[in-house]
Amino acid sequence: MKSRIVTFVLLSIGFLLIFTSIISSIHMQTMSQEKPEPLFTLKYLYNTANPLQRDVGVLLQEEWGKIGVNLVLEGYETATVRSRIWGKSGFPTFPTHDEGGFDVYLQSYNWIPTDLVYYLGCFTAEGIPPLGWNYWAAHDSRADMYLRKCMSTYNMTERKEWIYKWQEQKQEEVNEIVIAWPMRAYFTKANIKNYCIRLNCYDIDLWTVEGKTEEDHVTVRYAMSEDPTVLLPMFGDGGYLSYLPIHRCLFRLVYDFEKETFSLEPELVKDYELSEDGMSMILHLRDDVKFHDGVPMTSADVKWTFDAILDPATGSTYYGDLSAVIKSVEAPDDYTVIFHFNKPSPEILTLLAPPGGYCAILPKHVLGNIPHDQLRTCKYNTEEPPPGLGPMKFVEWKKGEYVKFEANDDYFKGRPFIDEFIQVIIPEATTALAALEAGDVDILHTGYSTELAGEIERLKKERPDINVNLAPFPATWFIALNNDHPVLNNKYVRQALAYATPYDKIINDLMMGLAEHANSQIHKSSWAWNPNAKYYTYDLDKARECLRKAGYPEWPPPQPAETPAPTGPSLMPTLGGFIGGIIIGIVLTYVLVRRR
Partner 1 sequence: MALWDYTVRRTIILIPMFFLSTVVIFSLIHLAPGDPIEIMFTETGHPPPREVIDQVRKSLGLDRPIYVQYLIWIKKLLRGDFGFSYGGPFIGQSVLDLIRSRFWYTIMLMFTAQVLALVIAITLGVIAAVKQYSIFDNVCSITALFGYSMPNFWFALILMLVFGLKLGVFPICGASTAGADFTGFAALSDLLRHLFLPVLSVTVGYTAWLFRLVRSTMLDVLSQDYITTARAKGVRERVVVYKHALRNALLPVVTVVGMRLGFILSGAVVSEVIFAWPGMGRLAVTFALNRDYTGLMGLSVIIVLMVYIANLVTDIAYALIDPRIKY
Interacting residues with partner 1 (CB under 8 A): 76, 78-80, 82-83, 85-87, 90, 107, 109-110, 119, 122, 131, 133, 135, 219, 221, 226-230, 237-239, 241-243, 312-313, 315-321, 356, 373, 376-377, 381-383, 398-402, 404, 420, 422, 424-428, 430-432, 434-435, 437-438, 440
Q: Name the minimum Å distance from CB 133 to partner 1.
A: 7
Residue 72: CB atoms within 10 A of its CB come to 13
CB of 420 to partner 1, least distance (A): 6
Closest CA to 446 of 229, 245, 261: 245
Sign of CA dihedral 338, 342, 345, 348: negative
**Of the two residues 293 and 373, which places its CB atom closer to partner 1 in the complex?**
373
145 or 230: CB nearest partner 1: 230
Which CB sits closer to partner 1, 431 or 489?
431
As a whole number of Å, the CA-based R_g of the chain is: 32
- Name the DSSP letter for residue 120: G
Rounded least distance, CB 94 to partner 1, Å: 15
Minimum Å gap between C-beta 85 and partner 1 is 7
Residue of 567, 540, 588 whose CA lies nearest to 69? 540
- Closer residue to partner 1 (CB): 96 or 219: 219
User: Which of residues 68 and 357 has its CB atom nearest to partner 1 in the complex?
Assistant: 357
State the minimum distance, in angstroms, from the CB of residue 18 to partner 1: 42
- For residue 120, the minimal CB distance to partner 1 (Å) is 12
| CB closer to partner 1, 78 vs 532 | 78
- CB nearer partner 1, residue 96 or residue 107: 107
Q: Which of 182, 202, 307 lies closest to 248 in space, CA to CA?
A: 202
Largest CA distance in the chain: 118
Which amino acid appears at position 460 of this protein?
Answer: K
- Residue 328, classed as helix, strand or coil, is strand
CB of 402 to partner 1, least distance (A): 4
Rounded least distance, CB 228 to partner 1, Å: 6
Q: How far from each other are the two terminal CA atoms of the chain, in whole angstroms?
A: 11
The pair phi, psi for residue 461, each rounded to 5°, is -75, -45
Helix and strand totals (H; E) in the chain? 17, 20
Question: CB-based contacts of 177: which residues, under 8 Å, 6+ apart?
Answer: 478, 479, 481, 494, 497, 498, 501, 536
84 or 544: whose CB is closer to partner 1? 84
Helices 141-151 and 156-173 pack at an angle, to 10 degrees, of: 160
